[in-house]
A and B are shown apart, each in its own frame.
Chain A
Amino acid sequence: MTALRPDLAVIAETIPTGARVLDVGCGDGALMAALRDSKGIDARGMEIDPVNVANAVTRGLAVVQGDADTDLADYPDDSFDYAVLSQTLQTTRRPDLVLDQLLRIGKQAFVSFPNFAQWKIRFAHMFGGRMPVTKQLPHRWYDTPNIHHVTIDDFKSFVEDRGYSIEGEWYLSGEKRRGAGLANLLAEHAVFLLKR
């Protein structure tokens, strides 16, 4: 098995055994499989791409095809201990409503996203004068699925404005974890654990 993506590794480590987990935008189910194999967790997933759904189902995972923007409304309140949204928030049409849904369905929510204020992106923008194309954000402006770019500081104030609290935060540069110092400038990815 290939190594888990670093933000997913953080989430997999933190979720306790026995938790009920919904992974929104679960891709091919890598996190769900890791949770099952390491903690015996019977997670549920939602994914928009049918090929990814099929791949997840063939791994024995319970994944339904759906769109985070429209289909989260189908889940009852408090049906999960954790709702996970990894590297998907920036692709949704209404990140604010999606976050509300996550924290309605889940008692807590993990959200991970690429930090648009990381210095390489700032440099590319400032000196290149163009929308940045980097290793972590490899798409061009017109074909990117990332329609709501967000920075770590944006996200923190967004969470505060929505009335949620931050229970945990993790910052990543490539594979490595880093401290919170200057995270908005230095971290490529962030993972937040949120609570109502």
Chain B
Amino acid sequence: MAQTMGEDGRFGLDRRTKLLGPVRLDSGVQFAPVEFAYETYGELNADKSNAILVCHALTGDQYVASTHPVTGKPGWWTRLVGEGKPVDPSRHCIICINVLGSCMGSSGPASFDPGTGQPYAMDFPVITIADMVRAQAILLDHLGIERLACVIGGSMGGMQALTWASLFPDRVQSAIVIASTARHSAQNIAFHEVGRQAIMADPNWQGGNYYGSVDQPDAGLAVARMAAHITYLSEAGLTEKFGRQLQDRETKTFGFDADFQVESYLRYQGLSFVERFDANSYLYITRAMDYYDLAEEHGGVLAKAFQGTRTRFCLVSFDSDWLYPTIESKRIVQALNAAGAAASFVELSSPFGHDAFLLDAPEMNRIIDGFLKAGGL
């Protein structure tokens, strides 16, 4: 990655900072102080007009384009972010912040409550997508970045991008919203509730006070991840990848071992997830997503969330995404049209379901590249 911002310690890889805040949460709580874990790539130009905020999804983190410290895997969006990519540290100053409530260094249920010296656990306040965005705004103030040339995100990252444009229209020149929605549907909430119940039904969860305990709610968190993971894939994708193939065996065992490849795959997804994620964070962030309905505070009229906006919008959906299907993006487009906003939208074809935005998607990259360049980036 490019050399970052010379001697300025606020910029660079794996940054941590604690700010006074407070963040005024939707619940009414004034949350302070606020810890931030974030990364920046590339240099902020002289007139500070090249800042791009990348927002991560539910279980994502700030390591958008650098190696994950726990898994050792490359950054989660290196297909889009990196030298020669549409979001390019040689041209852009890229910021990615671990969201409030998460577990990779920003304030969340696993971080220490300065009042007690213990992890917050379930004393951490319930947060919303807007709270995450307000917290990010505090960090950007600290970085001296008033205006974002673009806010970009997929899935929950897209919710943040929309919320940024709605809460801070003057700070957001353009927003790219991929495979996302303006509200969680009953089905979305239902799947999340399955995950939360799996965690809370695990006796090792211990009412959320498992920090420091030998017994961790790994089984519950793994099941939550397994259920969620199914929603990120498409039926056709699963069929193509696994079909009814058996795992390392010739015949069915007439037992409850992972006979099928798809079972084995899901178990692996669940087990590897618990290595890098905190069960309570999973509760808090899924709650934030379920509470998300951008139109709610505008009398149910989504267009009012964007009234008078000068932000340029680009929306992308994928035809096999049944978690946040195209119809949800079209609802947003309809609202943007009604608000007279400059909006672009395209539905791309992919067999990979919701996860398509994280995978090889050359047409998505072409659109993002063109959209950013058309905005002078």
Q: Which residues of A are interface residues toward B (Cβ below 8 A)? A: 42, 44, 50, 53-54, 56-66, 71, 74-76, 79
8 closest A-B pairs by CB? A58-B370, A60-B374, A74-B334, A64-B345, A62-B342, A53-B346, A57-B344, A65-B346
Q: Which residues of B are interface residues toward A (Cβ below 8 A)? A: 312, 314, 330, 333-334, 337-338, 340, 342-349, 363, 366-367, 369-371, 373-375
Q: Which of B334, B347, B349, B367 contacts A57 (CB 8 A)?
A: B367
Q: Which of A56, A65, A74, A76 contacts B347 (CB 8 A)?
A: A65
* Shortest Cβ gap from B87 to chain A (Å): 15
* Shortest Cβ gap from B212 to chain A (Å): 51
Inter-chain contact total with CB atoms closer than 8 Å: 72
Q: Which residues of A contact B346 (CB under 8 A)?
A: 50, 53-54, 57, 64-65
CA of A27 to CA of B205, assembled, Å: 56
Q: Which residues of B contact A60 (CB under 8 A)?
A: 370-371, 373-375
* Among B334, B340, B346, B371: residue with most chain A CB under 10 A: B346
* Shortest Cβ gap from A161 to chain B (Å): 29
* Shortest Cβ gap from B316 to chain A (Å): 9
Asked if A75 and B374 make an inter-chain contact with CB atoms under 8 angstroms apart, the answer reads no
Q: Which residues of B contact A54 (CB under 8 A)?
A: 346, 363, 366-367, 370
A43: nearest chain-B partner, CB-CB: B342
Asked if B371 and A58 make an inter-chain contact with CB atoms under 8 angstroms apart, the answer reads yes
Q: Which residues of A contact B314 (CB under 8 A)?
A: 57
Asked if B345 and A58 make an inter-chain contact with CB atoms under 8 angstroms apart, the answer reads no
CA of A66 to CA of B338, assembled, Å: 15
Asked if A58 and B337 make an inter-chain contact with CB atoms under 8 angstroms apart, the answer reads no
CA of A44 to CA of B345, assembled, Å: 11
Q: Which of A50, A57, A64, A65 contacts B337 (CB 8 A)?
A: A64
Q: Which of A42, A57, A63, A75 contacts B338 (CB 8 A)?
A: A75
* Shortest Cβ gap from A194 to chain B (Å): 22
Asked if B349 and A50 make an inter-chain contact with CB atoms under 8 angstroms apart, the answer reads yes
* Shortest Cβ gap from B277 to chain A (Å): 35
Q: Which residues of B contact A53 (CB under 8 A)?
A: 344-346
CA of A57 to CA of B338, assembled, Å: 20
Asked if B342 and A57 make an inter-chain contact with CB atoms under 8 angstroms apart, the answer reads no
Asked if B348 and A62 make an inter-chain contact with CB atoms under 8 angstroms apart, the answer reads no
CA of A61 to CA of B314, assembled, Å: 10
CA of A59 to CA of B314, assembled, Å: 13
* Among B344, B347, B348: residue with most chain A CB under 10 A: B344
Asked if B344 and A61 make an inter-chain contact with CB atoms under 8 angstroms apart, the answer reads yes
Asked if B371 and A74 make an inter-chain contact with CB atoms under 8 angstroms apart, the answer reads no
* Shortest Cβ gap from A104 to chain B (Å): 14
Given contacts A50-B363, A53-B344, 12 further A-B contacts (CB under 8 A): A44-B342, A54-B367, A56-B344, A60-B370, A62-B342, A62-B343, A63-B344, A65-B347, A74-B330, A74-B338, A79-B337, A79-B340
Q: Which residues of A contact B369 (CB under 8 A)?
A: 58
Asked if B312 and A64 make an inter-chain contact with CB atoms under 8 angstroms apart, the answer reads no
Q: Which residues of B contact A74 (CB under 8 A)?
A: 330, 333-334, 337-338
Q: Which residues of B contact A44 (CB under 8 A)?
A: 337, 342-343
Q: Which residues of A contact B374 (CB under 8 A)?
A: 57-61
Q: Which residues of A contact B337 (CB under 8 A)?
A: 44, 64, 74-76, 79
CA of A77 to CA of B330, assembled, Å: 18
Asked if A65 and B340 make an inter-chain contact with CB atoms under 8 angstroms apart, the answer reads no
A105: nearest chain-B partner, CB-CB: B337
* Shortest Cβ gap from A112 to chain B (Å): 23
With A53-B344, A63-B344, A64-B343 as known contacts, state yes or no: A58 contacts B333, CB within 8 Å.
no
